[in-house]
Structure 1
Amino acid sequence: MAEINGGAVGVGQLQSLALTNYGHFTTMRVEHGRVRGLSLHVERLRRDCRALFGVDLDARRVREAVRRAAPATGSTTVRVTVFDPGLDLGHPAAADDPHVLVTSRPAGALPLPPLRVRSAAYVRDVPGVKSVGLFAGLHHRRRAQLDGFDDALFVDTGGHISEGVTWNIGFFDGSRVIWPEADCLAGVTMELLKAAHDHEVEPVRLADLPVMRAAFATNAAVGVRAVSAVDGVGFPGTHGIVDALRDAYSGIVGDLV
């Protein structure tokens, strides 16, 4: 399913998105007509729209579009992308007419197997905006997969961990859940888990990983997923804290779309 501003999608409308790659989005998992953290997804879209286009986004229109995209039963992954079809590469300051593109696909079965990830030195452009500019992240993911890993984990030049390509990461040191303090995109799933489970936020370096007892990845599509290795440091594929966080997340009642 795909629609733009409530109507059919034309090739010409998508041209600027394909050729300029300027815009933002959010992805949500709709289960039986409900979305965990729906208000956070909508607020992200409104915040990023103001940051990229300088105008407010109609939250009611977004919810109506998501409602049309998701069936009342079953699980569906819905992506809402906001961009201006009239954007001129030479005059991006004039882009102030954002359109709402909504696409959907069947959601995958959960839980997924643990991730093995490789660190990569990279800090995303404008980390607080969920930008459609995915080139660098996918490039690092591709390189990691070609070398036998599942994904990439971003670190800065000092070895401080920030986030994965399309997910946040957390750790357990034996007594505390720790979210890395870093410039990153604060995911909706991470924010929901922060509210649902005791935690600390502090810098985490690659050099700190040998003392950690578990690691996990989070995003709206997969919920909570164990991380079984970062570079050469291994973690258990199953752990009580990962199960506890997954249960806490599953227990959050989603908002009706």
Structure 2
Amino acid sequence: MVLVNGEPASQVDVADRGFQYGDGVFTTLKVLRGVPLFLEAHLARLERDAARLFLPVPDRAVLEAEVRQLCGLKPEGVLKIQWTGGGGGRGYRRPDAPTGTRVLGLHPLPDYPATLHDQGVAIRVCRTRLGINPALAGLKHMNRLEQILARAEWSQADIREGLMLDTGGHVVEGTMTNLFLAQGGRLHTPKLDGCGVAGIMRGWVLVGAAELGLAVEERRLSLDEVRAADELFLTNSVIGLWPVSRLEARAYPVGPISGAIWRWLTTKIQAALDPSGPISH
């Protein structure tokens, strides 16, 4: 089910700037039991990202109503909310008063084995590098060609994710996830001031680590530091948290820190749902 500006649709105007130039932002979240998880945080991020790109800020009340409409029709899935620069003539210059286009789609949940949360995943390092551009750093904008190229580098079903470095050689993120490493009882995650996406689940992990008394540092990370970590784990709003069990030839334990963070996240997810029953991962 897809809504375009509030109407059921399967297409957008070919003149839309999101289609023509990738001029827009988006956010993706999980829906369980009819509840869009962490919706407020996702909409706040969408508004911040739109403002940073000098797009008009979408009407939150309208978005919330359309989210409720979709979740009422399909209680589980992956909800993608896109906000574009709207229609416009040819050329990069936006209209003087862009109106924006809303596209909300609710799609089936991916068929990830539940055991990945406990057993971990195998990942690799991608050859494709992320360009450094502080003006876009942290944003979930609609230009994803770097991630598309990186994801095209492998087809093995047992490799769940690929790590991406920037052109300076620092590890930034996965193609669809944020990265955390544990070393000596401390958490580290790449600093996202040059490129990368500041994921909603990444933000919750930072909050959870503070509540659990874990020190966290956001900083530049080399590939050697990542390989030498005691634990690695990945996060996004659909998978939640995946421990890393193998990075190419190096094996990692599913350790206590990733376990503690995942239990904390699970309580937050459960709190958003009917507390009378267990959640389905």
Bin for the TM-score computed over the shorter chain:
0.7 to 0.9
Flag structure 2 segments of 5+ consecutive residues without an equivalent. 275-281
1:122 aligns with 2:122: no
Q: Aligned partner of 1:105: which letter?
A: H
Secondary structure of the 1:44 match is helix
CA, structure 1 residues 244+74, in 2 after alignment: closer, same or farther (shift >3 Å)? farther
Distance of 1:73 and 1:248 partners within structure 2? 27
CA, structure 1 residues 172+137, in 2 after alignment: closer, same or farther (shift >3 Å)? same
User: Equivalent residues in 2 for 1:96-107 (5 A)?
Assistant: 96-107=98-109
Secondary structure of the 1:11 match is coil
Secondary structure of the 2:238 match is coil
Residue of structure 2 aligned with 1:166, choices 165, 172, 176: 176
- Which segment is superposed worse, 15-24 or 239-248? 15-24
> How large is the Cα RMSD of the aligned pairs?
2.7
> What is the number of residues matched between the two proteins?
255
1:87-128 per-position Cα deviation (integer Å, ceiling 9, x unaligned):
334143327211110001122354535131214432365122
Distance of 2:157 and 2:104 partners within structure 1? 34
User: Equivalent residues in 2 for 1:37-76 (5 A)?
Assistant: 37-71=38-72, 74-76=75-77
Q: Aligned partner of 1:213: which letter?
A: D
CA, structure 1 residues 208+105, in 2 after alignment: closer, same or farther (shift >3 Å)? same
1:72 is displaced (CA, Å) by 7.9
Structure 1 runs (4+) deviating above 6 angstroms are: none
Q: Give TM-score, length-normalised by structure 2.
A: 0.80
1:20 is displaced (CA, Å) by 2.6
Secondary structure of the 2:102 match is strand
Residue of structure 2 aligned with 1:226, choices 233, 236, 243: 243
Flag structure 1 segments of 5+ consecutive residues without an equivalent. none
1:240 aligns with 2:256: yes
1:246 is displaced (CA, Å) by 1.3
Distance of 1:195 and 1:221 partners within structure 2? 18
- Which segment is superposed worse, 140-149 or 44-53? 140-149
Question: What does residue 226 of structure 2 align with?
Answer: 209
* Equivalent pair of 2:126/2:153 in contact (CA under 8 Å): no
Q: Give TM-score, length-normalised by structure 1.
A: 0.87
